[in-house]
Copies of this chain bind each other. A is one copy, B any other.
Amino acid sequence: MSRVSFPKDFVFGFSESGFQFEMGLPGSEDPNGDWWAWVHDTDNIRAGLVSGDFPEDGPGYWHLYRMDHDIAERLGMDAARLGMEWSRIFSKPTFDVKVDYSLEKRYITHINIKEEHLKKLDEIANKEAVEHYREIFQDWKARGKKLIVCLYHWPLPLWMHDPIKARRSALREGPLGWLDKRCVIEFAKYVAYVAWKYNDLVDAWATMNEPNVVYSQGYINVKSGFPPGFLDLGAAMKTMMNMIEAHARAYDAIKISSKKPVGIIYAVSCIEPLKSEDEDVARRARRESTYAFLDAITRGVIEQGNIIRDDLRGRLDWLGVNYYTRLVVTSDARLGWRAVPGYGFLCQPDSLSLTGRPTSDFGWEVYPEGLHKVLSDLYARYKLPLMVTENGIADKSDRLRPRFIVSHIHQTYLALKEGVDVRGYLHWALVDNYEWASGFNMKFGLCQVDLKTKKRYLRPSALIFREIATRKSIPEELQYLTEPPC
């Protein structure tokens, strides 16, 4: 190995969401989302479903965005993926802005949003929030940087989803969020409005972040502490279908006012078979976990090809890949397949996986080659521009992050060299964040944040990142970090 150089237009940057970063200083609170209600729910806290930490004690990006942009700039970053909170823009329902839509069978195949609707939406939108996001985006753009805006990173407005009520009623009483078809329509309005409002500042759009996590954690892996935490496989499937549709309608909605590429950000694990006999179930697991969703919004294929929906087809200009580690799967008599403990996401914290690789504070195995694999597989299947939209590690003491960064960037390089059209690498995260049900314990930041003073401190890995980002190459003197530790 010697030259590991990226093209000039390959971007290095950071990724963040609204809920996990914005709050922290007085005036930054947004109590209008389902996640806010969820993490403050006393029963949830007592049950240990959520940490008892609160996002209003967070890093405070809402006020400190300039400071964070300064840091990002100094670290050589040229792109950011930022999140917008629907519940900030529309803290009150948008139902009254009536739009027409086509219903075929039970599918919403088209939503007819016109300028008049956008103007009405503008009237009921939260002016202050609209303006504040503009300031944030402008500050970043003024530095000559790329801006990707993600329109949904998990919180839904409370008027669209009351997760406590939903769970208490066994999903019989709502609002039920993505289980409610209206969510598709209201989401499209919100998205159309935002695209209309910020098109001048945004280089690329992502409709959603990790929809697959939303429905699997919310309705299947209920121990994860995600709303509404009600075990119901059918609800998971229905949510998936509605989110597919919502993405497609959001895609269309953006295109009304914007020519910028519209993508989705997906949580992609590298799924590997435990034994060679498990290759079939690994394929099945990949299909269920990843391809089912993405096939729908690219090829229009749903339910494994039994149905083709033209209204879904071709609704993806680029694909954001959030990669953390792998899943090793094996066949299971009852479940079809299951992930095997001791690998990937299913390891002990601060320990070693069964193959001797280090694991993060979260118990996630460091498995860089998986990033190469998923980039190659996704590109081979979809031939779309890719971007690594999240990659990082919960590593409070920064003992693993330097090597984590270099090796994952290196794996991205290997994919690129093989012809995969990957356009950038955005690290999760620039600063420590509020990690959903886990609260503040999981530290993903290149910068450590003192939650009391909100001061940012550089972890050593931040300097490693800077070395790479400023040169758009992995200098030879850091290449040893692409190898596993000896």
> Could you tell me which A residues sit within 8 Å of B by CB distance?
42-49, 52, 71, 167-170, 172, 220-223, 229, 231-233, 332, 334-335, 338, 397-399, 402, 447-448, 450, 455-458, 460-461, 463-464, 466-467, 475-481, 485
Contact = CB atoms under 8 A, between A and B. Distances in A.
B47 A222 contact: yes
Contact of A478 (B233, B450, B458): B458
B170 A168 contact: yes
A315 to B, nearest CB: 30
Can you list the 7 inter-chain pairs with the closest CB atoms, starting with the nearest? A170-B170, A463-B463, A460-B460, A457-B480, A399-B399, A402-B460, A458-B477
A48 B334 contact: no
Nearest to A461: B460
23 contacts: A42-B334, A42-B335, A45-B334, A46-B335, A46-B338, A47-B222, A47-B231, A49-B231, A52-B334, A167-B231, A168-B170, A170-B170, A222-B222, A229-B231, A397-B485, A402-B460, A448-B480, A450-B480, A455-B477, A457-B477, A457-B481, A458-B467, A463-B466
Given A42-B335, A457-B479, 13 more contacts: A43-B220, A44-B231, A45-B334, A46-B221, A46-B233, A167-B170, A167-B231, A222-B222, A399-B399, A402-B460, A455-B476, A457-B478, A460-B460
A170 B169 CA distance: 5
A191 to B, nearest CB: 32
B399 A49 contact: no
Contact of A48 (B221, B397, B460): B221
Nearest to A450: B480
Contacts of A467: 458, 463
Contacts of A71: 477
Contact of A43 (B233, B458, B480): B233
A408 to B, nearest CB: 15
A398 B466 CA distance: 18
Contact of A464 (B48, B52, B450, B463): B463
Contact of A231 (B43, B172, B332): B43
A321 B179 CA distance: 47
A170 B221 CA distance: 18
Contacts of A222: 47, 49, 222
A317 to B, nearest CB: 34
A223 B43 contact: no
A48 B222 CA distance: 8
A233 to B, nearest CB: 6
Contacts of A167: 170, 231
Nearest to A222: B47
B477 A47 contact: no
A397 B231 CA distance: 36
Nearest to A48: B223
Contacts of A45: 334-335
A458 B480 CA distance: 9
A271 to B, nearest CB: 16
Contacts of A485: 397
A13 B71 CA distance: 27
Nearest to A460: B460
Nearest to A49: B223
Nearest to A481: B457
A399 B167 CA distance: 43
Contacts of A476: 455, 457
A197 to B, nearest CB: 34
